[in-house]
Amino acid sequence: MNIYRELAPSPRTIMTPGPVEVDPRVLRAMSLPVLGQFDPEFTAIMNETMEMLRELFQTKNHWAYPVDGTSRSGIEAVLTSIIEPGDRVLIPIYGRFGHLLHEISDRCGAEVVTLEKEWGTVFEPQEIIDAIQNEKPAIVALVHGETSTGRVQPLEAIGKACRELDVLLVVDAVATIGGVPVKTDAWCLDAVIGGTQKCISVPAGMAPVTYNDRIEHKIAARKRVERGLRASGETDFPNARPQIQSNYLDLGQLQDYWSPARLNHHTEMTSMLYGLHEGLRILLAEGLPARFERHRLNERALVAGLEAMGMSLYGDPSCKMTVVTCVTIPDGIDGESVRAMLLNSFGIEIASSFGALKGRIWRIGTMGYSCSMKNVLHLLGAFEGALLRHGAKINAGAAIAAALDVYEGSAKTAAINA
Amino acid sequence: MNIYRELAPSPRTIMTPGPVEVDPRVLRAMSLPVLGQFDPEFTAIMNETMEMLRELFQTKNHWAYPVDGTSRSGIEAVLTSIIEPGDRVLIPIYGRFGHLLHEISDRCGAEVVTLEKEWGTVFEPQEIIDAIQNEKPAIVALVHGETSTGRVQPLEAIGKACRELDVLLVVDAVATIGGVPVKTDAWCLDAVIGGTQKCISVPAGMAPVTYNDRIEHKIAARKRVERGLRASGETDFPNARPQIQSNYLDLGQLQDYWSPARLNHHTEMTSMLYGLHEGLRILLAEGLPARFERHRLNERALVAGLEAMGMSLYGDPSCKMTVVTCVTIPDGIDGESVRAMLLNSFGIEIASSFGALKGRIWRIGTMGYSCSMKNVLHLLGAFEGALLRHGAKINAGAAIAAALDVYEGSAKTAAINA
């Protein structure tokens, strides 16, 4: 028999686009003793989490709760619950995660129409609106922030057009929620999916979602109570529309579990919910505006440092996402070797990239608890050291100075405004 | 803005059929700092978890890993990955969770044939074998331990018949794994799904699964690499068979993520995996035979106590599952009021029941970390007190004495054998 040792993970400074570092208060909450799923103390925590999620999503929607799985489980839950076989779904793609929306919609039996944009840029809203008018989809599914390219797609005009044209708009805000404004109601987003392990800084494992009554209406038409829970007399198909093809990700049934009916579905993930509750509590205590500003400030310092060093950034700067910075790997430098040195010698993790960008860019995240002056300065010093060690021609000593200038300038401004 | 308070769950003695109490060592492991998903330290933990799961499932299968969701996500992952639309699936049902297998198979497009048995009993293996011979299904899906009725279905003869008749056998061992023997290889089970929050005593959130090459073969025929990750030249449908309808629960893609290829899929649930790793480590250090014996001993003591008190047990005793004990609610006693008193005054949770049994039985779990002499004695004392307070006619003072007799007798036997 093998003897397995106790876990002892090395301390890491995680500067990837997720998973990122977790506030020790969240980890502490996750180590609290469990409660039963129908214990009134536990259902009160469920309800409070829903309230906090509404604030996070900036919505008055009734439905705002986590799906029990990692981010893409939330995306699939929304899409599989609303896409009926043959539904026309328009998917504008400007990076890897647009392809994931395509992949999932495909499997739901959608008739998918895609619109592709060169990686490193985003769409002009009018391009998408024109496509909606031409293609007449029932649903538009769109990524808000593409971690693969570090771009953010403006949504407001698209949301308003969808509402006007009576098209459902589903937004993957996994990368942005909690770090970049996501205004569900003001932008007319019908369903929004977030992730825990990025700007919310809770371990991967839940996918907070919110959706309005336009979505709920579509779900209601396909809803059925689970076999084994139906009252006698309830028929198999009370509704005319085709059933939702997943049981685990059926939002109609999840709703009943998150409602006062508490109709048995899965067993809620106790410890993950504790973590999400604590993460949201910390996030709301900081306040959304202050939190977004913190993400902008650290990004400015990071970018100033990288540019002072002489690195060039990838992608169209006009649509750069604050929480991910993509850096072009200099000619002649082995990107994976630099990443390995950062991890093994400095205890810092940054990310590689996908598809055509593989080997061409590094991706640096400044998300949630990882998004701090301490981490940015640590990274810039380490990055400079590792690049010099790899023979890169960069300006030594300039990066940290430039970042410090940003932080000191910001402190001065704050003092003046105070 | 609302001010949300820090979580402070009350201490609970959880004697339900799950979720149950969690070993503090597991909770401590869950509070360790996170690692990135492709950090070599983290992938080493993934590999070690696979090794331990093979021991738990008593299998030489290569594939043994957790699906990132609660138990039913693992059930759906297996069924949706192997059921092609129109596949004939035989589902013998003897409780609520058999209906769940029906529900899920239905949504995968199966042609389902059910076989129903009165609740409180299980099938004679020959009944199922006869049905296989008559109905000629491609797949049989069966619950090993029904928490709804507290029964356990013998599997060995059914497994051997399925192998002989070339039928795939999928077993829901969510309730039994880690508390009752589950011999994947010896019983010829093709796929087995476990749950974390019952006898493994890890918080809800993962569904360990294992499957053999017969299942893998079926998956391989439907496998496709995800859009956005495909090398150019790879076609949409390299295989002839219909694609798997879920992306999140596609075992073909999960396999690639759990293989050395580490093909990006979801972001593994770091903290849940830490918890599972620690839970398995504790479980294997205790040893499966000792663990099963502990569950039997505490059940004997619980049953002796309940019977001495004058309570009657529900269901056919010949197929009683050790880890769940169903107690008939005496005439004139309000079952929910007793449960509420146990929770609110004694801090003990026991379970109510489903469907036709609602209001007729209580269900008491003795699972994993909750399965201890301390808890059984606490429960018996509290149960007696609450029942007397509700005016039930029971033998006062007899329950704990009877349970102590069992524990002392067992200690004597152990001393003689030592």
| Chain A residues whose beta carbon lies within 8 Å of the beta carbon of residue B244 | 107
pLDDT at B231: 64
Q: Cβ of B12 and A6 within 8 Å?
A: no
State the pLDDT at residue A232.
Answer: 58
Give yes or no for A354 touching B (CB within 8 A).
yes
Nearest CA to B278 out of B345, B368, B344 is that of: B368
Residues 6+ apart with CB under 8 A from A168: A82, A138, A139, A140, A162, A190, A191, A214, A215, A218
Size of interface A-B (CB pairs under 8 A): 286
Against a cut of 0.95, is the pTM above it?
yes
Using the structure block, give the residue that is written with the tokens 């430039």. A402
Q: If 0-12 CB within 10 Å is exposed, 13-18 middle and 19+ buried, where does residue A10 land?
A: exposed
**Among B241, B142, B223, B254, which residue's Cα sits nearest to residue B187?**
B142
> With contacts defined as CB-CB under 8 Å, which chain B residues touch A103?
226-228, 247
Sequence-separated (6 or more) residues with CB below 8 Å from residue B393: B310, B330
What does DSSP assign to residue B83?
A: P
CA B213 – CA B70 distance, rounded (Å):
24
In angstroms, the Cα distances linking B68 to A88, A205, B8, B147 are: 30, 7, 27, 22
Q: Are residues A13 and A379 in contact, defined by beta-carbon separation less than 8 angstroms? A: yes
| Neighboring chain A residues of B99 at a CB cutoff of 8 Å | 226-228
Q: Do A97 and B2 touch (CB under 8 A)?
A: no
What is the predicted pLDDT for the residue at A233?
A: 57
Question: Does the CB of A358 have a partner CB in chain B at under 8 Å?
Answer: no
| CA angle, residues A268, A272, A275, in degrees to nearest 5 | 135
pLDDT at B417: 84
In this complex, do A70 and B70 lie within 8 Å of one another by their Cβ atoms?
A: no
> Pick from A2, A228, A267: which is nearest to B70 by CB?
A267
Interface confidence, given as ipTM, is: 0.96
Q: Sort out which chain B residues have CB atoms less than 8 A from A204's CB and list them.
A: 37, 266-270
* Strand bridging mode A88-93 / A139-143: parallel
Count CA within 13 A, CB hemisphere, residue B317: 6
Q: Does the distance separating the beta carbons of B205 and A68 come in below 8 Å?
A: yes
Q: Is A156 within 8 Å of chain B by CB?
A: no
Measured CA to CA, the distance from residue B176 to residue B58 in angstroms comes to 13
**B106 Cβ under 8 Å from any chain A Cβ:** yes
CB–CB of A173/A145 below 8 Å?
yes
In angstroms and rounded to an integer, the radius of gyration of the C-alpha atoms of chain A is: 22
The ranges assigned to domains in chain A are: 23-283, 288-417
Look at B34 and A281 and tell me if their CB atoms are within 8 Å: no
Chain A partners within 8 Å of B18 (Cβ): 267
CB-CB neighbors (< 8 A) of A74 in chain B: none
Q: Are B39 and A277 an interchain contact pair (Cβ–Cβ within 8 Å)? A: no
Nearest CA in chain A to B281: A4
C-alpha distances out from residue B86 to B109, B112, B242, Å: 6, 9, 11
User: In angstroms, how far is the first alpha carbon of chain B from the final one?
Assistant: 64
- Chain A residues lying within 8 Å of B229, measured CB to CB: 96, 354-355
The enclosing H or E element of B115 equals strand B111-116
Q: Is B342 on the interface with A (CB under 8 A)?
A: no
Please give the residue of chain A at the shortest CA–CA distance from B198: A267
B66 contacts B72 by C-beta, under 8 angstroms: no
Average pLDDT, 10 consecutive residues per value, chain B (418 residues) = 88 98 98 97 98 98 98 98 97 97 97 98 98 98 98 98 98 98 98 98 98 97 82 60 94 96 94 98 98 98 98 98 98 98 98 95 98 98 98 98 97 86
* Chain A residues within an 8 Å CB radius of B21: 33-34
Q: Are A169 and A142 in contact (CB under 8 A)?
A: yes
Residues 6+ apart with CB under 8 A from B9: A32, A33, A34, A35, A41, A42
A373: buried, middle or exposed (CB in 10 Å: 19+, 13-18, 0-12)? middle
**Listed residue (B170, B226, B166) closest to B193, CA to CA:** B170
Tell me if B73 and A69 make a contact (CB, 8 A cut-off). Answer: yes
For every residue of B317-328, DSSP letters joined together read GGGB-TTEEEEE
pLDDT at B241: 85
Kindly report the length of chain A.
418
Residues 257-286 of A with CB under 8 A from B: 264-272, 274-275, 277-278, 280-281, 284
Q: Which residues of chain A have pLDDT under 50?
A: none
* Cα(B235)–Cα(B230) distance, integer angstroms: 8
Residue B208 near residue B74 (C-beta atoms within 8 A)? yes
Secondary structure of chain A as H, E, C letters: CCCCCCCCCCCCEECCCCCCCCCHHHHHHHCCCCCCCCCHHHHHHHHHHHHHHHHHHCCCCCEEEEECCCHHHHHHHHHHHHCCCCCEEEEEECCHHHHHHHHHHHHCCCEEEEEECCCCCCCCHHHHHHHHHHHCCCEEEEECEECCCCEECCCHHHHHHHHHCCCEEEEECCCCCCCCCCCCCCCCCCEEECCCCCCCCCCCCCEEEEECHHHHHHHHCCCCCCCCCCCCCCCCCCCCCCCCCCCCCCHHHHHHHHCCCCCCCCCCCHHHHHHHHHHHHHHHHHCHHHHHHHHHHHHHHHHHHHHHHCCCECCCHHHECCCEEEEECCCCCCHHHHHHHHHHHHCEECECCCHHHCCCEEEEECCHHHCCHHHHHHHHHHHHHHHHHCCCCCCCCHHHHHHHHHHHHHHHHHHHHC
B183, with CB counted inside 10 A (0-12, 13-18, 19+), is middle
Inspect the interface and report whether the beta carbons of B31 and A36 lie closer than 8 Å.
Answer: no
Query: DSSP labels for B214-280?
Result: HHHHHHHTT--PPTTTSPTT--S--SSSPPPS-STT-HHHHHHHHSTT----S---HHHHHHHHHHH
Question: How many CB atoms sit inside 10 A of residue A186's CB?
Answer: 14
Substitution target from A114, A227, A363 for chain B, most B beta carbons within 10 A? A227
Rounded to whole angstroms, how far apart are CA atoms B327 and B218?
Answer: 42
Which pair of structure tokens corresponds to residue A125?
Answer: 């809203």
| Neighboring chain A residues of B55 at a CB cutoff of 8 Å | 1-2
Question: From CA B226, how far away is CA B190, in angstroms rounded?
Answer: 26
Domain B288-417 in the same topology as domain B23-283: no
Which CATH code is given to the segment(s) A288-417?
3.90.1150.10
pLDDT one-digit tens code per residue, A64-88? 999 999 999 999 999 999 999 999 9
Question: At the topology level of CATH, where does B23-283 sit?
Answer: Aspartate Aminotransferase; domain 2 (3.40.640)
Whose tokens are 């970049």? That residue is A180
- Asked if B266 lies within 8 A of A51 by C-beta distance, the reply is no
